[in-house]
Every structure is written in C-alpha cells, then in structure tokens.
Structure 1
Amino acid sequence: MKELTIILFERQGLLLVIAFVMTRTPGFRTLLYREYSVRMSIVHSFIFGLFGIASTITGITIDGDTIIRSFVWQAEDDQLIVSSSLIAIVIAGLLGGPSVGFGAGIIAGAHVMLLGGIGWLANGIVNPLTGLLAGLTAQFFSNERVISPMKALFIGVFPPVLHMQLLLIIHSQSGETVTIVDRIGLPLVLSNSIAIAVFTAMIGIVLREQENEAALAAKQALAIAEEALPFLRNDYPQQMAIGIAQLLYERLKLAAVSVTIGTEVLAHVGIADDHHRSGDQISTAISREAMETKEMKIAYTPSEIQCRIQDCPLEAAIIIPIVAADEPTWLIQFYFRKSQHIRPVEIMLAKGLGQLISKQMDTIAAEKLKSHIRDAELRNLQAQINPHFLFNTLHLISSLIREDPERAKYITVQLANYMRFNLRLVSKSLVKLEKECEHVKAYIDIVQARFACQMEIVFLRPTILPEVFIPPSTIQPLVENAVRHGLKNVTHNGRINVCIQVESATILIYVQDNGMGFSEEMLKAIQHQTSAKQNETYEKTGLRNVNQRLVHLLGESAKLHFRNLTNGGSEVLFRIPKITTGELINNATV
C-alpha cells in the first residue's frame, strides 16, 4: 500500500505540472471567470477529457501482487488499471459545471473502457458520473469563484470511494475484487483528494495573479489618463496627438504608438517612424473596422497591419477607438515587435485606457459646451446698458451744451468711450486692467458731472499698471452699486473711493463709500444665500454677476469680499493675480 501511494503521488506530480501549464493558457481564464458558452463548453470538455486520458496513460496497472509502472496502453483481462483520471474530471466539473464535467468524463471514460482489464465497465461509468456530480457540487458553491483547497480536499474523497463501490457492485463475481479494492482504496483516496486540493490552490494563485495584474493595469491606466488630460484639452489636434503618443510611448515602453484622428495619422512615436509617418491615411481594414464597430481590435500578424514595407519590424498591434459623444473620433494604436508581446495585461490596459480617455473626452466636451453657454450668458449681461443711465447722461449733455460747451463735449466723448467698451464685451472674456481703468474713469466722469453737488468720487491708481487681465466691466458695477445703493439716501458730502494697489503677487482693488452700508440681511444673502428674497436683493445690486465672472475666469481667490466700515459706509474688495496663464492672455484684448 505504501509503495502504491508513493507511485500515485509521483505520477500525479507530473500531472500537476501539466495542469499548472494549462492554467497559464489564455483560454483557461474563461473558466476561472465562468464565462460560459456552448462553444467554450465543448472546447473545455475536450481539453479536460484529454487531460483525463493523459492521467490514465500515466497511471499504473496491477497484475495480482505486481505493480506495472510502464505507461498504460492496454490492459489484460486479469489486470486492473489504476489512474488519476478522476482528478481531471473533478476539476472539469468544479470549474466548468455539469456540462463540462460530464463531457470530459465521457471522453476519459470511453478511453478507459477501450483499454479493457478488470473493472473496465466501472472505470468507464465512474468518470462521467463523477464529472456530473462535481459540476452539481460547483453549482452549490456558485457564490465562490473557486472552491477553497480545504473544501476541495473534502470533495476529493468521494470520487475514489464511488469508484470502489462501483467496482464492488459491477464486478462482484470476481473473487479478487475485494482484495484489489482493499489494496488500492486508501492510496487512491489520499492521492486524489490531495491532488485536487493542490490544483484548486494553484487556481487560487492564478486568480490572485490576474487580479494583481488587473489592479496594476487599472492603476496604470488611471495614472496615464490623468497625465493625458492637459493634452486632451488642447484645441490643436496635431499637438494633442503628439503629446498623447509621446506620453503612451514613454509610460508603456511599447515598440511604437500612433494616434489617428479621422482618417489621418497625426502622430507616430517609436520604431518604424521612417515609413509610419504623420499625414498617412488609414489603409488597414482592421483600423477601419475598429472605427465602424467602436470596439478594440487586435492584429496578431503583419498581414493584418498591412504595412507597405515588407520588412517592417512592427508585427502586431492593438487598435483602440476613442469614442466621444457616441461617435468614434480617433484611434490609438499600440505597436509590438512580436504578437507574443501582447499579454492579457496589455489587452486589459488598452481596453481600460480607451474607456477612460473616451469618458474624459465626453467630460471635456460637456465642460466646453457648458463654458460656452455660461460665457455667452455672462457676455450678454456685460453688454447690457442701463437705458436710464443713457437717457440721464444725454439729458445732462443737452443741459451743458449752453452752459459749458467744453464740459458737454468732454462728457460726450466719455459716454462714447463708455458705450464702445460695453459693445465690445460680447467678444472678450478678459481685458487689460489699463483698459478697465479707462472704462471706470469714463463712468466716474459722467456720474461726477451728474451728482457734483451730492458726492465726490476719488479714483486712486498707480501711474503704471502691470500687464494683468481682468473680466471687463468688473470695477464699474461696484462703483455703480455704491452710487445707487450705498449713497442712496445721501444728499451731500457723499464720498466714494476707488483704489487700485499693487501687492507682491496680486493687485488689490476696492471700492469704499460713506453711505448706509450693507444691511445684515444683505450680508447674510451674500455669504450664505439662505432665502430667495435675500438672494433677489443680492442679484439686484449687480454684484452677483461680477462675482460669478471673477470666480469663473480668475479662480476662487478672486471672489468679492464685503464688509461694513466702522465709521459708516461699506467696502467691496477683491484681488486678481499679477501673473496670468497663457490661456488668459490669449483670451484677452490688447
């Protein structure tokens, strides 16, 4: 018994090595993740059936008290075949379910029956029966991706016991059956159950490896997608394509990367750039198919790549369509020197990158659309001219024509400057601070002429201002708010200070008045916007629009700050950065 147990463990060690190699095949993944189909069930039944046949051939035969160690090709009528085929059948059932287990059992069982010997019928029946029962057991543990080794050890005890029972029932007329069963029973139970437990442990290791690879691929895809964002936001397709291709080539260590937009290759980075060049048109059927189907395609042969150069070193590729707004807009192609370099982790990474970049493109498109809508709304608000202000100013000019023609002429010029500035707002998001100051000066001169006896407006600014940018018509509404609301009840000695101060990193701008100040409700509405009525008051002052434009175009640090002064009156201040980005400068007017 001891010798038989050792021999069985030796033979099963060889089978486990073969099984380990099987776990490394790409098709084995469909079993691990239970991606069943009729075709794959047939394929796996055939594979595990062959594995069962190999287990039988590498088994042993028992002739009386003699153990024949040679490969089993045929058995005499007085010989019994002792094999490990049940291990393969149990694994087939546990992984593939009843259909795969039963199919593999029929193949392995038919082979054992053809070999003959004592117990040929029992050997033939036990294989499909074991596969069916193992498959049903797997369904019972369907919530587990792979049965644990301890459970597999327990399950592995029953197939050899069932085998022994069938031998005793079907071949009871043979007097040697009881002796043989007594001799081989315990070694078969031990070897089979331990081998099945070891195999399930191997599968668990493979699963963890795949999960680690998938996690690594996902992490890498997320990191690359994050780094790709600045390039994806680029409005110039050529620069975007070159940036994306260079990033992917450096991060993924590929043979080459190309980016195609529409039907034209805009960038190719890596080997074979002497004939894979930007400006080439898509000519391969697999690339056009990827665009049409919106699905990732893999070219495993040079004939699928269809390169015009016969000795091109690029022999395989992954073609990833980038879909924005449900339409394929461009392709990313990963090139490899050999098809063997395309591992499952590369495929997972490519698929994940394609999905992430597609979602980013959708998000960027939505952000741009939202930005354009918001910009249009803000510019529309900026371009609005208060008709009462215009009529009152025209009335002032008409009254000054007789009394002070020079003054009337000056106010007319300032009104023209003021209106011209407002009409140009619809095409500009930012203006130079110097231009904004000219606009404020025009408004102050007009208001000062109208309310000369009621208030004084002092505009303090440096002689030379840094070349910084500000949303147009930002300071003027603050001055207007002080005139219309701050000094609303002031009939004389009203004062408004408009001050611009240059600090180390920012420009401080504030407007102060000595009027009635902000009410508590107003300050609360500005800070918390707690009620519709308070919010309506906030909007009526025009400050909400100014604050929105500052935050939207210059950031949260540029938002308005409000407070009441201790000596009476109020103050509104904000800061703008001295150093602006290239994007802000490009949007500004000169």
Structure 2
Amino acid sequence: MGELAFLIAERVGLIILLAFILVNIRPFRRLLLDATPANLFKLALIFSAFAIISNLLGIEIDPDNHIMRETILWHVTPGYSVANVRILAVTVAGIVGGPGVGGLTGLVAGTHRMMQESWAADAWFYIVSSTLIGILSGMLYHKNRRHFVVMPPWQGFLVSLVMESIQMIFVVFFSPTHLKLAHFIALPMIVISSIGTAFFLMILSLYFRQEVDTRAVQTRSVMKLAVKTLPAFRHGLQSESARQVTELILEYTDFDAVGIGNTEKTLAFAGAGSDHHYHDMPKANVPRFAKQALQNRQTQLAYNAAQIGCHNDHCPLQAGMAIPLTLGSRVLGVLTLYFKENWQLTPVEIQTGEGLGEILATQIVLGEKERQAGLLRDAELKSLQAQISPHFFFNSINTIIAISRFDSEKARFLLRELSTFFRSNLLGANQSKIPLKQEEAHVKAYLNLEQTRFPDKYDVEFYSSVDDQVLVPPFAIQVLVENAIHHAFGNRKTGNIINIWITKSGKYLEIRVADNGEGIDPAVIGKLGKEKIDSRQGSGTAMQNLNARLKGLYGDSAKMQIVTGKTGTSISLLIPYVQTRQDLNTEGASI
C-alpha cells in the first residue's frame, strides 16, 4: 500500500504542476472570473482534459493486488483494476465552475474510463459515479460569490474526502473485485486525492490573492489619475483636455495606448500606433469597435486586431476595449484602451477601464457645468455691457422723460418694460433654462425700448404656436434679435423687417429669427457661432457663446442653422422640446 500511495502522490503532483502552469495563463484566468455560458463550457473542456490525463496516468493493479509498471494506460487488461485521481479533477471542476461544469467533466471522465475497459458492460458505473460526483461538488459552487474568492483549501479537502468516498462505495458495490480492491486502494486514493484537491484550490487562492493585490494597486493608480485629470476637463471635452488625459492615463496605467474621442472624431491619442491613430482623425477612420461602443452605448471588447477594426494592416495593437462615456441617456464620447498582446486584456483590466470611463464621464459633465456657468455669466455681462451700458440706459431714460411730457401712459408702459428688461437679465443669469414666457417678455421689453427710440426703423413680428411654458436657454432669442438689429441692416433707416417664429417640429423646438437685411459676408459665415470673427461689424462672440451653451446643454441634439443671402438672413435654433420642470429632470440631454 505504501508503494501505491507513493505512485498516487506522484500522479497528484503532476496534476498540481499542470494546474500551476494553467493558472499562469491569462486566458484561463478570464474563464475563472467571467462565468458566461461559453466560458463555463471552456472550463468543462479544460477539466475534462485533466480528468482524461488522470485516467491515462492511472496505476493498473492485477487481481492479486500487484502494481503493474505501465507509463500510459491506454487500455485496462481484462480482470485488472485501476487506481487514479480523476475524481480530483471532477471535484475541482464542480467547485470552481458549478454543477454544469462538474457534471460535464464527470461525464467525460467516466466515459473515458469505460472506454479504457473496452466498453465492458460492468464498467457503466464509472459514468454514473463520476457524473454524480461532479454535480454534487458543483452544488457547493456559489454563482453570486464575490470576485476573487474561491473555496478555502481545508473545505476542499473535506469535500474531496466525501466525493472519493462516494466513488469507493460505487467500487464496492459494482466492481467485480469490489471488497479486495477497495481495501487495497481506498485509503491512499481518498487521502492523497483530497490533499491534491486542497493544493489545487490553494493555487487558485494564491492567484486570486494576487489579483486582489493587483486590483488594489490599480485602484490607487486610478484614484491618483482621477485627481490629476479633474482640472483638465474644466472646460469640457476638448482636444487639449483630451490630450492631457490620454498622456496621464498612459503614465498611471499599464495600457499600451489610449485614445479619447467625441461623437464625431478622435480628439487625442497616445502610445503605440500613434502614427495612424492621430488627433482629429475623422469618424470614417475611427476603429470599428469604437464606433460600435458609441452606437450601442456598451463597452466593446476586442481580443484581436480584426475585432478592433483598425484600418492599418501593420497596427501593433492586438487587443483593447472601447468604453462609451455616458451619463444617463447622454453620450459624451468614447475612451479606447489598447494592449499589444491579447492576453493582457484581463477581467481586472476591463473593470479598471470601465471604472475609469465612469470617472471621466462624470468629470466631463462637471467641467461642462462649470463652463456653462461661465458662459451664462459671460452672456449676462455681454447683455449688461451691450444693452445696459450708460449709452443704452440713458437713451432709454431720456426717451421715457421726453414721452412723459405728452403721453404719460406710454411713459409708464416703457418704465415697466425697462423694469422687465432688468429683471429678466437678473433671473436669466441664475438659470440654465427658463420658460418661453419669460424669454419672450425679455425680448419684447428690449424691442419696445428700441422701437420707441427709432419708431419707423424696425418692423418686428413675433409668432409662437407652442406652450409658453416650454423651456429655452436664457437670452437665446434676445441674442438673435439683437444680432439682427445691430448688424443686419447697415445704414438703412426704413423697411427693416424682423420675424421671430417659435414652433414645434417633431420632438424639437425651433426658434427662427429672420430679417430682410444685407446678408452675412460669405467669408465669415462658416465661422459664425464657432469662433471669434475679426470683422468691423462685430466679433461674433455672442453667437459663439450661444452655440457653446446649446452644445453644453443639449449635446448633439442642438443645432444652429444659418441661411443668408442678399435678401436677408435666417438663423434657426433646434433644441429638444422640454415643456415642464419634470420633463427637464428626465431629459438626459439637458444635464
């Protein structure tokens, strides 16, 4: 029995060595941590291979309990018996993968063992016993267990004792040599296989502990990274801020390349492959899995170059993940993280990347909110400077004083309009959206004061077919009207027409201000609303401010359209139709 125990221990040692090698292969680690049906099936195949190896390394014993010296046991001599450690593989399969993995491994192990017996009729019990043991051990698997936790080795030892004992019971009742064989092989097989199971689980535990340590280190790195990246997004997601963040991610993580893009193009890229993954790369050339992440609003994983979908055949990047930067229903952009080797894409790296994506999305929104507050303050200051300047203020007061001499009712009306104008400026400066009724009152107050000063210069009509509680950005209409009054008509004194339409178009609110002025210079039309303009007629800052506020409030759902010609200009704003405060809170794009 001592010699048999030594030989069984030798087989167990070989299985443990194979397990140690397997655990150091990253694709196997992914199978342990990501319990998808496909991964569980792969686990069953791997443990089935272990079980078959255990069968092939079995120790053949003749009817007189003499040990035979064959190296690989392809077939069992009729009347002979076998001592092996296949139940070790079946038990661990159940503990690690659950009843399905354990049962399938047991079925394969038992079938192969019966095949060694040349499909003898009295060997059927190997299939039943191995399958049963796999299912029973799998019932101890906790599907919802925390990541990086496996059964303690001492518990595995006890479980294996029970499972090996069940196997011995089947041998006693169904093996032709039953009692004599069981007396010879039971103790070494049960004890040594149980010790082997404990060592197998110990190796897994050591690996999981290593993963915990790795995750802790990466968590600290991500937290440091979050602190570093927060200032970069103070002005929202822009090329410069994206460039700073990609370089920081590359410095604080193990990724080989990092890219950040908005919904239209790549804003920044750093690391391997920078020769063809570049700044301002158009959407048509963006890797396919990044487009899919934006479209599906889900993380896309790529384990080879084909799945990445890069257009360069010599790209060194072989694996990666594309993480959409989202907040609620709003898509801000996409973060792409790459590796040169596909084995580097582990569950820990995936969770790190997704966590980093959530942090960056939050930082972008916080930066946009700060930027929106600044833009709104700028709009308020511009309004105060341009319209409540001493020139505008004193002209309005002088006009009211002059009218009060012959029309006191009109003077009181204009004083109320001036009061409304002041109040609207103060209220609008503290809100990101206001009811249309409030914005309309502000615009009409401004127009009444201007038209009183220039009675026959402007003919303004205001058309609205929507609820006056629909929400609009403050100063949106006023900026367009002011722009028309100051820049559309040149020195023309009469016949100047401005029409304002507020209508609903599907899910959108359309604000359109049209004039019959001289049109906009073709040289600046493409820049208007996007950047400052070097022009004698104005800098276009108010329009740029308005467009930036719309993009910040609604993202790509907002559009500014400009149509101009010799017969006049029409500027339209399209924004999501939001009617109540409750609608505003549930509208993802209005963050």
Match of 1:292 in 2: 295
Deviates more, 1:8-17 or 1:301-310: 301-310
Partner secondary structure for residue 259 of structure 2: strand
The one-letter amino acid of 1:266's match is L
Cα shift at 1:241: 1.7
CA deviation string 1:330-373 (max 9, x = no partner): 22223433334434443232121111111222344455557778
Partner secondary structure for residue 235 of structure 2: coil
Return the alpha-carbon distance in structure 1 between the equivalents of residues 363 and 5 of structure 2: 61
Partner secondary structure for residue 334 of structure 1: strand
Partner secondary structure for residue 66 of structure 1: coil
Change over 3 Å in CA distance of 1:148–1:67 after alignment to 2: same
Return the alpha-carbon distance in structure 1 between the equivalents of residues 144 and 251 of structure 2: 45
Cα shift at 1:215: 2.2
Return the alpha-carbon distance in structure 1 between the equivalents of residues 90 and 254 of structure 2: 42
Return the alpha-carbon distance in structure 2 between the equivalents of residues 93 and 59 of structure 1: 21
Match of 1:120 in 2: 123
- The answer to whether the aligner puts 1:44 opposite 2:43 as a matched pair is yes
Change over 3 Å in CA distance of 1:116–1:305 after alignment to 2: closer
Deviates more, 1:255-264 or 1:179-188: 255-264
Cα shift at 1:15: 0.7
CA deviation string 1:525-565 (max 9, x = no partner): xxxxxxxxxxxxxxxxxxxxxxxxxxxxxxxxxxxxxxxxx
The one-letter amino acid of 2:353's match is A
Alignment of 1:327-406 (within 5 A): 327-366=330-369
CA deviation string 1:359-404 (max 9, x = no partner): 22234445555777899999999999xxxxx9xxx9xxxxxxxxxx
CA deviation string 1:422-466 (max 9, x = no partner): 99x97999xxxxxxxxxxxxxxxxxxxxxxxxxxxxxxxxxxxxx
Cα shift at 1:314: 3.6
Match of 1:277 in 2: 278
Return the alpha-carbon distance in structure 2 between the equivalents of residues 428 and 92 of structure 1: 65
Return the alpha-carbon distance in structure 1 between the equivalents of residues 256 and 40 of structure 2: 37
CA deviation string 1:302-333 (max 9, x = no partner): 34444444434344443222124532222222
The question of whether the paired residues in 1 share the 8 Å contact of 2:377 and 2:429 is answered with: no
Change over 3 Å in CA distance of 1:380–1:276 after alignment to 2: closer
Match of 1:153 in 2: 157
The one-letter amino acid of 2:101's match is V
The structure that has the greater radius of gyration is: 1
Return the alpha-carbon distance in structure 1 between the equivalents of residues 371 and 43 of structure 2: 51
Alignment of 1:508-527 (within 5 A): none
Cα shift at 1:81: 1.5
Match of 2:579 in 1: none
Return the alpha-carbon distance in structure 2 between the equivalents of residues 140 and 306 of structure 1: 34
Partner secondary structure for residue 81 of structure 1: strand
Match of 1:22 in 2: 22
Cα shift at 1:177: 3.4
Alignment of 1:497-508 (within 5 A): none
Partner secondary structure for residue 316 of structure 2: coil
Match of 1:111 in 2: 112
Return the alpha-carbon distance in structure 2 between the equivalents of residues 362 and 162 of structure 1: 60
Cα shift at 1:25: 4.7
TM value normalised by structure 2: 0.58
Match of 1:168 in 2: 172
Cα shift at 1:73: 0.4
Cα shift at 1:123: 3.1
Return the alpha-carbon distance in structure 1 between the equivalents of residues 96 and 278 of structure 2: 48
Deviates more, 1:273-282 or 1:186-195: 273-282
Return the alpha-carbon distance in structure 1 between the equivalents of residues 51 and 239 of structure 2: 58
The question of whether the paired residues in 2 share the 8 Å contact of 1:296 and 1:320 is answered with: yes
CA deviation string 1:99-154 (max 9, x = no partner): 22222111110111111189734433321121122123446997994222112212
The question of whether the paired residues in 1 share the 8 Å contact of 2:44 and 2:104 is answered with: yes
Return the alpha-carbon distance in structure 2 between the equivalents of residues 333 and 366 of structure 1: 24
Cα shift at 1:87: 0.4
The question of whether the paired residues in 1 share the 8 Å contact of 2:164 and 2:189 is answered with: yes
The one-letter amino acid of 1:349's match is T
Return the alpha-carbon distance in structure 1 between the equivalents of residues 171 and 225 of structure 2: 62
Deviates more, 1:346-355 or 1:225-234: 346-355
Partner secondary structure for residue 267 of structure 1: strand
Cα shift at 1:274: 3.6
The one-letter amino acid of 2:292's match is E
Cα shift at 1:29: 4.9
- The answer to whether the aligner puts 1:53 opposite 2:52 as a matched pair is yes
Match of 1:199 in 2: 200
The question of whether the paired residues in 2 share the 8 Å contact of 1:152 and 1:197 is answered with: yes
The question of whether the paired residues in 2 share the 8 Å contact of 1:31 and 1:95 is answered with: no
Partner secondary structure for residue 68 of structure 2: strand
- The answer to whether the aligner puts 1:9 opposite 2:13 as a matched pair is no
Cα shift at 1:86: 0.2
Return the alpha-carbon distance in structure 1 between the equivalents of residues 38 and 309 of structure 2: 31
Cα shift at 1:26: 5.0
Cα shift at 1:58: 1.5
The question of whether the paired residues in 1 share the 8 Å contact of 2:301 and 2:320 is answered with: yes
Alignment of 1:81-230 (within 5 A): 81-116=82-117, 120-138=123-141, 145-171=149-175, 174=176, 176-230=177-231
Alignment of 1:377-526 (within 5 A): none
Return the alpha-carbon distance in structure 2 between the equivalents of residues 170 and 353 of structure 1: 59
Return the alpha-carbon distance in structure 1 between the equivalents of residues 130 and 112 of structure 2: 10
Identity in percent = 25
Partner secondary structure for residue 137 of structure 2: helix
Change over 3 Å in CA distance of 1:159–1:266 after alignment to 2: closer
Deviates more, 1:1-10 or 1:308-317: 308-317
Change over 3 Å in CA distance of 1:231–1:162 after alignment to 2: same
Cα shift at 1:56: 0.7
Match of 2:572 in 1: none
Cα shift at 1:93: 1.6
Partner secondary structure for residue 242 of structure 2: helix
Deviates more, 1:110-119 or 1:8-17: 110-119
The one-letter amino acid of 2:87's match is L
Q: How many matched pairs?
A: 395
